[in-house]
């Protein structure tokens, strides 16, 4: 099966994910996230910030491809297809893996909820971008 990939859409969706993460964890819920994780020192070196951003962008790029392949396999397109792809990607991959991880790490349930709300929103936005630009 040949899956056409719009690399501009992939790049835009990856950047959107990074923007959503920055707003979510810095502007909206930074203090809550710090409290739930126990991290108190949030003064990273500029090089660390750059590496985290580049790493997040690359991983978002990879995640975008899984959404594209899922949408192609299930013949989903448009906003509705993007929302479905994003939701089921979250439900099938992100939610169970992070719940298992947070449980074994004995992290608070609120941290799982905070992280998963971010991932659900991010995947829905990425799904809509990717399936609308196909």
How is the chain split into domains, by residue range?
25-132
pTM: 0.88
- Residue 85 and residue 75: Cα distance in Å, rounded? 10
pLDDT in tens, 119-133: 999 999 999 999 998
pLDDT 10s digits, 31-77: 999 999 988 876 767 777 788 888 888 888 888 888 888 888 888 88
pLDDT of 43 reads: 72
* DSSP at 24: I
Collapse the DSSP code of 41 into the 3-class scheme (helix H, G, I; strand E, B; otherwise coil) and give the result: coil
Contact 68, 4 (CB under 8 A): no
DSSP 51: H
């Amino acid at each position: 099966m040949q899956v056409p990939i719009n690399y501009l859409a992939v790049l835009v969706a990856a950047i959107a994910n990074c923007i959503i993460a920055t707003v979510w964890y810095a502007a909206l819920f930074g203090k809550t996230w710090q409290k739930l994780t126990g991290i108190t020192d949030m003064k990273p070196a500029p090089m660390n910030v750059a590496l985290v951003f580049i790493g997040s962008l690359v991983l978002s790029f990879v995640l975008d491809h899984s959404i594209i392949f899922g949408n192609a396999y299930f013949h989903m397109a448009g906003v509705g297809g993007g929302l479905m792809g994003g939701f089921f990607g979250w439900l099938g991959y992100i939610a169970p893996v992070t719940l298992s991880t947070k449980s074994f790490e004995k992290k608070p349930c609120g941290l799982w909820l905070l992280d998963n709300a971010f991932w659900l929103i991010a995947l829905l936005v990425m799904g809509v971008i990717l399936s609308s630009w196909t």
